[in-house]
Structure 1
Amino acid sequence: MRARFGRLVELDNHLGGGDTYQLYVTELSRTESALQTMSPRTAVARGLAELASQQAQQAGWAAFDAGFNDAAHRLFVYGKQAAREAGDRALEANALVHIAYATNDRGAAGVADAACDALGASAPPKAVALLESRRAWSRARSGDRDGASRALDMARVALQSDTGSDPEPSWYSWIDHNELDIMTGRVWSVLREPAKATPPLVRALDGYPAHWARDRALYLSWLADACLDAGDPESAIATADTALDLATTVASARPLIRIREVAQRCVGRGVTGGPGLLARATAARAPIPVKL
């Protein structure tokens, strides 16, 4: 069951949440059925609870990606409880930081802080790196430059300390220096510091596969913002247009939301081409079902 789910998680690199949500929910249902047949005190039951937490969090991420935030929140809460039942502090903390990442409300930074504090000293370095990078994002969204910078530094230190010698669960195995560059660029882009945002975004995007359409579209949108803040509106429009072409090919709500925000900023600054970009982005649709 764990191996099958690991293979399905790989689909998230290629497809949007509108395509993957039902797959992950189905896997969660199978794990729940298995859990109902055994005592919760056994090692096997704890392993299944851990797997259920991962599946719930992945399904929640797919729901969030497709724009169904209420469903995402319910699944993240479920994942948090399942991780607690499994006795996995790091996985429980990850569910917390998912809630902070997806809700993005005033309390998100505090929730992200609580998640990182809950990790414990024995947490795997990559788990620390992942959660600290997401704390950096929540801090950036709240306007806390110093807090965001500290969290990025902690993520980098944790990643550098990873030996790569132990098997890693899929929920944090994907974090690497390229992904940390992406988060670094996004953090400094939202904080309107293009000189710090542009180099890591460009560096990371150069290594991103062309068929990862959703992620490329998202990260190009932050690069477009950085171009605009750097006083290069022509590059901002061109970069956002490239992102828009990618965004309409994948069942994800997030890229189009981001590109529309970039377009609105361009219009607000009187950028030539801004109204046209906004019209194209407003008219564009991602191939997402009406309901999951």
Structure 2
Amino acid sequence: MDDFGSRVRALLTERGISLRATARALTYDPAYLSRVINGRQRPSEALAAALDGLLEADGALVSLAAPEVHPPESSAERATDVEGDIAHMRASVAHLLAHDNRYGSTAVAPAAVQVWRAEQRKLDRGTVPDRARAGYLSAVAELAEIAGWLLFDSRQWDASRTAFLESHLLARQAGDRAMEWFALDMLAMHDVQTGRAGEALRIADELLTGLRVPPRIALLARVRRGRALAQVGDHRRALNALEGARAGLEESISPRDPAWAWWVNDTEITGHEGEALLAAGEARAAIPTLQRALELASVHFPAGRGTLYYSVALLSAYATTHAWRECEATLVSINTLLETVTSERSRDRLRTTLRVMARQPDAPPALLDLARHTAEAS
């Protein structure tokens, strides 16, 4: 792990980022991060992927953190094959997510499905040794979850839901409680997006009433609950739920929080607060919140998927309030992002917002021309 720590230290120095700022940006405990960087503790796969994305290492940190796979010995060839498959799955997850953060999901969603289905077939054929099955199930569950997320961002709703359901089943069979929680959270997210508020509320309640549910999982459940309540028009309780999530974010990360929860940070909560205000018909109040979410997202990937997502959300708020000058400035930046980011979820929302703008009689002609150009590019 010396190579990993040395590389991280060099990148932090090169980027001018302090350890404390890194811990704050990734919502990790500074002491844990210090132990990892100084070679006293092995990094989790999630931390390696998070650092790789933050420091724009293009997969180098993920590769350095990956478990070493030795050539097989003749007496244990099959066991080593299984270990190699699991290592490949873990590395695939990190690379797929790194691409998604930078360029969006559309191009890599088919690759994620391909890797997931290939490994799923090995399970279905019963060729995985019993002693390795739990770890294999867990790794395939994570692949299914990542495929589900990428399909979700690509607006392939049915395929995404199938992947999340499969991930939940595999995680349960593996006895991987943390991955079960992840799959349930993703299902609740999917429900909010596709109008299944009732199911989202049931999932949130299940997570919030479970025994020994880690703080970050409870926080996410409050977020999904808040968004679902906003969807059914219960705006006061929606904002209360999100306030509870915000309060939970201020607490230190618990050792019981799963490694995958690294992305639950200020950007995530701020964005959901802005979206809930939009759903409540309070677009003017949503604007500063969405501006803050965009600012936070742009720190890590100024031209990435998150930046496009929050730019489009902010454009929606500006259009609702007829803030035409701000619409124009935002559209200019969005056009640049569209050259490289292929998130179909954001592009579809953009097209919807542009159609709304086109129907406004007081929208300036120059803005409408820019909107038409943007619609063609999207």
TM range (shorter): 0.7 to 0.9
Matched, 1:175 2:264: yes
Tell me the residue number matched to 1:153: 243
What SS class does the counterpart of residue 162 from structure 2 fall into?
helix
**Which one of the candidate residues 66, 86, 91 is aligned to 1:4?**
91
1:191 to 280, 304, 311: 280
The secondary structure found in structure 1 opposite 2:253 is coil
- 1:110 is aligned to 198
Picking from 305, 310, 317, the partner of 1:219 is 310
- Structure exhibiting the larger radius of gyration computed from Cα positions: 2
In the alignment, is residue 284 of structure 1 matched against residue 377 of structure 2?
Answer: yes
Alignment of 1:131-146 (within 5 A): 131-146=221-236
- Deviation per residue, 1:257-289 (Å, 9 max, x gap): 11122212222332124532442233124xxxx
Give 5+ residue unaligned stretches, structure 2.
Answer: 1-86
Task: Determine helix, strand or coil for the equivalent of 2:106.
Answer: helix
Taking the aligned partners of 1:14 and 1:49, their CA distance within structure 2 comes to: 28
TM-score (norm 1): 0.82
CA–CA distance in structure 2, aligned partners of residues 237 and 143 of structure 1: 31
Corresponding pairs, count: 281
Equivalent residue for 1:32, pick from 116, 120, 129: 120
Contact 2:222 2:245 in 1 (8 A): yes
CA distance in 2, matches of 1:141, 1:111: 12
Pair 1:63-2:151 in alignment: yes
Aligned to 1:288: none
- What is the aligned-residue RMSD (CA, Å)? 2.8
1:17 to 93, 105, 116: 105
Whole-Å Cα distance in 2 between the matches of residues 73 and 244 of structure 1? 30
Q: Contact conserved, 1:218 with 1:258, CA < 8 A, in 2?
A: no
CA offsets 1:204-261 (integer angstroms, 9 cap, x no match):
3223234443221111111122223444222123213422331342222122211122
- Residues 1:260 and 1:174: Cα distance change in structure 2 (over 3 Å): same
Task: Map 1:218-257 to 2 at 5 A.
Answer: 218-257=309-348
Residue 52 of structure 1: how far off its partner (Å): 2.0
Alpha-carbon distance in structure 2 between the residues aligned to 1:54 and 1:92: 10
- Measured against aligned partners, the alpha-carbon deviations of 1:77-109 in whole angstroms (never above 9, x if no partner) come to 211211222334554344344334335344x21
Q: CA, structure 1 residues 244+255, in 2 after alignment: closer, same or farther (shift >3 Å)?
A: farther
Is the Cα–Cα contact under 8 Å of residues 102 and 303 in structure 2 kept in the other structure? yes
TM-score normalised over the length of structure 2: 0.65
Following superposition, the deviation at residue 193 of structure 1 comes to 1.3
Asked if 2 retains the 8 angstrom alpha-carbon contact of 1:125 and 1:158, the reply is: yes
> Match of 1:63, SS?
helix
- Measured in 2, the distance between the counterparts of 1:39 and 1:138 equals 42
Greater Cα offset, 93-102 or 230-239: 93-102
* Residues 111/94 of structure 1: CA separation in 2 closer, same or farther (3 Å cut): farther
Stretch deviating more after TM superposition (216-225 or 270-279)? 270-279
Cα distance change on mapping 1:53 and 1:189 into 2, 3 Å? same
Q: Runs of 5+ in structure 1 lacking a partner?
A: 286-292
CA 1:13–1:261 in 2, change beyond 3 Å: closer, same or farther?
Answer: same
Which whole-Å deviations, capped at 9, do the CAs of 1:7-58 have from their partners, x for residues lacking one?
Answer: 2233321122222224423442464366433466x6x433332332221111
More displaced stretch, 73-82 vs 94-103: 94-103
Q: Are 1:75 and 2:163 matched, yes or no?
A: yes
Letter in 1 for 2:369: G
Alignment match, 1:49 = 137
Say if 1:13 and 1:212, in contact at 8 Å, map to a contact too. no
Contact 2:222 2:242 in 1 (8 A): yes
Contact 2:308 2:334 in 1 (8 A): yes
| CA distance in structure 1 between the partners assigned to 2:175 and 2:204 by the alignment | 16
Quote the residue 2:364 is aligned against. Answer: 272
